[in-house]
Each structure stands twice: as C-alpha cells, then as structure tokens.
Amino acid sequence: MIAQFKEGMNSCGNLWQIVEKNWKVFLPLFTNEEKQLTRDEFRALFTICWSEEGSNLREKEEDTIFCWELLLNSIQEKQSTITFQEMLVFITGADSIPPLGFPGEPRIEFYTQQNRRLPFASTCGMVLFLPRGIQEEEELTDLLNTALKGYLGFGKI
C-alpha cells in the first residue's frame, strides 16, 4: 500500500520525491501538530454579517460583538472556562483548522433574542448565531457556556 501511495504521488510530477526532499515544509500537511489556536487566528476565521449601517439592529449587533471581543480576550488570557477549540467544534464540527483551510468562510450572524434563547450554530454552514443587544461579557459568556455544554455528545451513541 505504501509503494502504491508513493507511485501515485510520483505520477503527479514526482510529488513524492519533492515531499521527501522538503519534508519539513510538508509536515503540517501530513501531520496533526495540535497547535493551540490564538485569539487572532480564531478571530480571523470569521466574517461578521452586519445589518444595515445606522440601523437599530446594527447598533445592537455592535454591542454583542463588543462583548464577543471581550470574551475572546478572556479566552486568550485563560480567564474563561471556554476554549477556542470548543468554540471551533461547536461552530464547524472540526477540532482544528484543516491544513488547507475550511471549504467556506465561517461567519457570525445575529438573531433577535426572545426568552433568553441560546446562541446556536450550523456546522454545515459554519455559522455562529449570536443574539443582538448583549451588553455584558458575563451574559454572553453564560449563554455560550450553556450552549456549548448542551451540544456535548451531539451525534454520539
């Protein structure tokens, strides 16, 4: 099987020979290095889907994103029980960023909160839905903690 793999790789412009000569460059592609995500790496993954600028909805979304940024800082400083890896699994279903990146761009969208509805995610679409109008970091942290704890075991028997 290994010989077949090497032959197959070499059939594409002697790719295996290139990999052997430059193995350090290809290490992240062929191995899982279990690198911890940083705040900047995690933050850069997401596109924020804002409402129209100047609208009341946009103002509430900006409040929530301010709390989101504070939460990301708390996670980076290890002052939160939430980790970037847990958040990534909740939003994308993946426990690390794939070597070639995600097939699409993860996004943050908003919903109008009713009856303390929890944040939720679509792993298929890689979308995190956050409530508009959150004004305290602790409130967003509590909501996300509850949502993250509730998803554990999803899809497991």
Known catalytic membership, residue 49: no
**Catalytically annotated residue among 12, 49, 67, 124:** 124
Termini Cα distance of the chain: 33
Cβ contacts of 47 within 8 Å, gap of 6 or more: 105, 106, 107, 108
Between strands 107-111 and 127-131, the pairing is: parallel
How far, in whole angstroms, is CA 112 from its chain's centroid?
A: 22
Between strands 127-131 and 120-122, the pairing is: antiparallel
Active site residues: 124
